[in-house]
Structure 1
Amino acid sequence: MGFDMKKSTFVMALRALCGESSKSIWNRSREIYKRSWGWSDDDVISAFRRNPQCMILSEDKIMQGMNFLVNKMGWPSRVIATCPVILCFSLEKRIIPRCSVVKVLLLKGLIDEDFSLAYVVLPPEQPFLERFVIRYINRLPQLWDVYHGKLDVKDV
């Protein structure tokens, strides 16, 4: 499948493919991504190569993450296939707070949509805060409350 045996993703891939009940978990995840989110077989394989863990997540974790990112945030499903590690992050602690801040900034016209989902979710907390909260806090003091879940996007 094109994994470099010297990299940690090879070990994760082996775990996903050779673990207990791996075939049924693989098939379940593949079907969820394909049927529910429109991924092709190539999307599934590509996502697996990028982050093998995306194939061993629980059905609930996959569905909740994809539902939020696709249906609430408007990201195309196939974009998540290009950076599937995002699904491994905590929805409540990382994805929702960051996406909520970005949604507010977009709605207020302070940023353009010219950035990737990875640009929002992948950076460590401090660079994210500097890039999306601290930079705009003077214009939108409510951003801090949005980030901490004390204020809903629609209330800003």
Structure 2
Amino acid sequence: MPESCIALLLAHNTQVLMHKHENFAAAVEEVKAMGFDMKKSTCVMALKALCGESSKFIWNRSCEIYKRSWGWSDDDVISAFRKIPGCMILSEKKIMQVMDFLVNKMGWPSRVIATYPVILCFSLEKRIIPRCSVVKVLLLKGLIDENFSFSSVLLPTEQHFLERFVTRYINQLPMLSDVYHGKLDVKDV
């Protein structure tokens, strides 16, 4: 493990280092077995998610939520965890709210979200809902095709999103900025 990862553990995740040596060593072996590169910072978050009784409880709870409630396979869970370890330490409420919105309100396949787990860590109120509201309006008005990738909506920086989905259509739909800022509901457009 490089110094940068050790520094990250010491600066932000000291609770991981306070476990018995055997428990810490077991967590390191588990992280390695899941395919994490111990030279990258993602292994530090993976250790945080797997080290300790409360962490194991949260890990198991999150696995159950993703699998039972959203139909993810074991491979989906591990793949998402390898990409963004933080997706396994979110609160049950956060997981359920984001997944419910994306799957039930936006109609996106649950398992596709597993390929972009960083989305689960985004703010529902500040990022996901505003962007999805804009996209709903554009779809309803026939200005964009339904075959767009949801990652093209949620992953770009705010500036890039605004340029691609708001500014580009502002002449045809002047109220799009109000939809984005939550001043106008989708059904009122």
TM-score, scaled to structure 1: 0.96
Superposition misfits of 4+ residues, deviation over 2 angstroms: none
The one-letter code of the counterpart of 1:134 is T
Cα offsets for 1:57-77 (capped at 9, x unmatched)? 000000000000000011110
Task: Give distance in 2, aligned partners of 1:134 and 1:115.
Answer: 18
Which range moves more in the overlay, 55-64 or 37-46? 37-46
Matching residue of 1:67: 100
**Cα deviation, residue 115, structure 1:** 2.4
Q: Secondary structure at the match of 1:21?
A: helix
* Gap runs ≥5 in structure 1: none
Which residue number in structure 2 is paired with residue 82 of structure 1?
Answer: 115
2:63 matched residue in structure 1: 30
Instruction: Show structure 2 runs of 5+ residues with no match.
Output: 1-33
Which one of 27, 45, 48 corresponds to residue 15 of structure 1? Answer: 48
Q: 1:50 aligns with which of 66, 83, 86?
A: 83
Size of the aligned set, in residue pairs, is: 156
Q: Once the two structures are aligned, what percentage of the paired residues are identical?
A: 86
Judge which range, 132-141 or 17-26, deviates more.
Answer: 17-26
In 2, distance between residues paired with 1:19 and 1:65? Answer: 26
Higher RCO (Cα < 8 Å, 6 or more apart): 1
| Pairwise CA RMSD | 1.0
TM-score, normalising length from structure 2? 0.80
Question: Which moves more between the two structures, 18-27 or 69-78?
Answer: 18-27
SS of aligned partner of 2:107: coil
Q: Which has the larger radius of gyration?
A: 2
Deviations along 1:81-127, one digit per CA (max 9) or x if unpaired, are 00011010100000000011011111111111222222111111101
